[in-house]
Amino acid sequence: MKRLLSLLCLLFLWGCNPSFLDVKNNKSQLVPSTLTDFEMLLNKYPVMNTSTGNGLGIASSDEIAVDDNIWLALKKLQDKNAYVWSKDLFEGEDVPDWNNPYQTVLYANLVLDGLQKLKGKEQDESTRLKLEGYALFFRAKSFFTLAMHFAAPWGDTDNETFGIPLRLDYDPTLISKRATVTQTYAQIERDLLQALDQLPKQVPVLYLPGRACAMIMLARLYLVKSDFEKALTYAGMALNEGYSLLDYNSIKPGASYTFPASGIGNKEFLLFENANQVEYFSKTKLTVPTSFVDMFDGNDLRKSYFFTKVGNLYQYKGSYLGSASLFTGIALDEAYLIKAECLVRLGKVNDGLKALGELLKYRYKPGTAPEYKDMTQEKALELVLLERRKELYLRGHRWYDLRRLNREDHLKTDLKRTVNGIEYLLPARDRRYTFPVPDEVVIKSDVLQFER
């Protein structure tokens, strides 16, 4: 135990360094060696599940509004810059959206390396395989989050070389370099497919992933790649794992936040994770655009469960974490939305609308959920994407969706904000949809900078 605690302290120091990918340390010291050691590392939820990225992507999306006076008073430059899509995003600051996911990768790699050394030795092989599945999943999810922000979008052939560094060894002395976008997605896919074979169906706590989590992550990955057949397959598999949706009619909203703390009691909640904190991610500083709230029907319970009106402004109270922390984990509703979108895109419009209806009946007042059918494929897709935007509000998906939908001319979106009297624009397919790598990482590694 003393050895493991010392190791955790060392790992913490690595993760706090803004360029920890290239820190020089002796990897032979303080290495865990037992299944119990590795299980303790995977259960370290402040590293594996907390502040795991996505913050600046949410800040850069069109989901939020920040008052001019609040924006002017912000202390962190990257929080200000993300909101107005500045080319120099970080200005030399430490970057949690980069550091934290790679710290998770570091822990996962340490576990994977140690578990590989235990292979074939006398021990509980089923436990070893399960722990390996957990580690592979956490590495894949971290790589995915990093790719959605620091790699060029899938399909951007002009920038194919700008994937992310794929750290597959826990040795922090290795020099980092970028993989290609194709290599990045292939590694995420490999990790998830292997994890799926080894993860348990049920898990003891919401901080650990089960099989359904890997299925939904695979569906999410294939959706970003526009591989709708595979995305549909894995979304359907997740829906057959025995979980069910939360009926919004069955809950009594809390006074400050609608949903129970940490997902406890929310039966569609599959994996705990929250976004990195940005200065204006608080109930009093972050406001919801009125135009977005107006998209919700009066019988749609999400309107009152997600938002509360204070004066003339709307504030958000609908995080599945039951707090001001923004939920970026995994829940079953995402599988319904992926299934609906893929069916519509594959020409099975009424089947897609039926899948959407299976979700909406748990979101509307009894007997009021709309029943959609016999729509054109174009109109059905617009509807499904709108419902996706509403359901997954402030869960990190909007930035991913803007990047993938901007590839399609009829779905692309140009973003615009006016801050302190100045108009800022982010056109579809702009290079600023890819974040720069922190300067210190570029200086101390072979990672090429993405010029915005």
Which domain range does residue 317 map to?
208-271+282-325+330-394
Amino acid 30: pLDDT: 61
Q: What is the pLDDT along the chain (452 residues), one digit of tens a residue?
A: 444 444 444 444 344 443 434 333 445 456 788 999 999 999 999 999 999 999 999 999 999 999 999 999 999 999 999 999 999 999 999 999 999 999 999 999 999 999 999 998 867 999 999 999 999 999 999 999 999 999 999 999 999 999 999 999 988 788 899 999 999 999 999 999 999 999 999 999 999 999 999 999 999 999 999 999 999 999 999 999 999 999 999 998 888 999 999 999 999 999 999 999 999 999 889 999 999 999 999 999 999 999 999 999 999 999 999 999 999 999 999 999 999 999 999 999 999 999 999 999 999 999 999 999 999 999 999 999 999 999 999 999 999 999 999 999 999 999 999 999 999 999 999 999 999 999 999 999 999 999 99
Q: State how far the Cα of 269 lies from the Cα of 243, in Å rounded to an integer.
A: 9
Amino acid 259: pLDDT: 96
Q: State how far the Cα of 47 lies from the Cα of 142, in Å rounded to an integer.
A: 11
Amino acid 254: pLDDT: 83
Amino acid 15: pLDDT: 42
Q: State how far the Cα of 12 lies from the Cα of 172, in Å rounded to an integer.
A: 13
**Residue 104 maps to a domain:** no
Cβ neighbours of residue 425 closer than 8 Å, sequence gap 6 or more: 85, 414, 415, 416
What is 177-200 written as a DSSP string? -BPPHHHHHHHHHHHHHHHHHHS-
Q: What is the pTM of this model?
A: 0.94
**Residue 344 maps to a domain:** yes
Q: State how far the Cα of 159 lies from the Cα of 266, in Å rounded to an integer.
A: 41
Q: State how far the Cα of 340 lies from the Cα of 385, in Å rounded to an integer.
A: 9
**Residue 443 maps to a domain:** no
Q: State how far the Cα of 424 lies from the Cα of 80, in Å rounded to an integer.
A: 13
Taking Cα atoms as reference points, which of 143, 228, 145 lies closest to residue 190? 143
Amino acid 19: pLDDT: 40
**Residue 388 maps to a domain:** yes
Amino acid 353: pLDDT: 99
**Residue 360 maps to a domain:** yes
Say which CATH number the domain at 365 has.
Answer: 1.25.40.390
What is 96-111 written as a DSSP string? HHHHHHHHHHHHHHHH
Q: State how far the Cα of 450 lies from the Cα of 149, in Å rounded to an integer.
A: 12
Q: State how far the Cα of 316 lies from the Cα of 256, in Å rounded to an integer.
A: 10
Q: State how far the Cα of 435 lies from the Cα of 452, in Å rounded to an integer.
A: 8
What is 294-341 written as a DSSP string? TTS-TTBHHHHHHEEEETTEEEE---TTSSSSPB-SEETHHHHHHHHH
Query: Structurally, how many domains does the chain consist of?
Result: 1
Taking Cα atoms as reference points, which of 363, 413, 149 lies closest to residue 258? 363
> Which helix H or strand E contains 425, and what residues bound it?
strand 422-426
**Residue 50 maps to a domain:** no
**Residue 252 maps to a domain:** yes
Cα distances (Å, whole numbers) of residue 4 to 9, 40, 44, 196? 9, 9, 12, 28
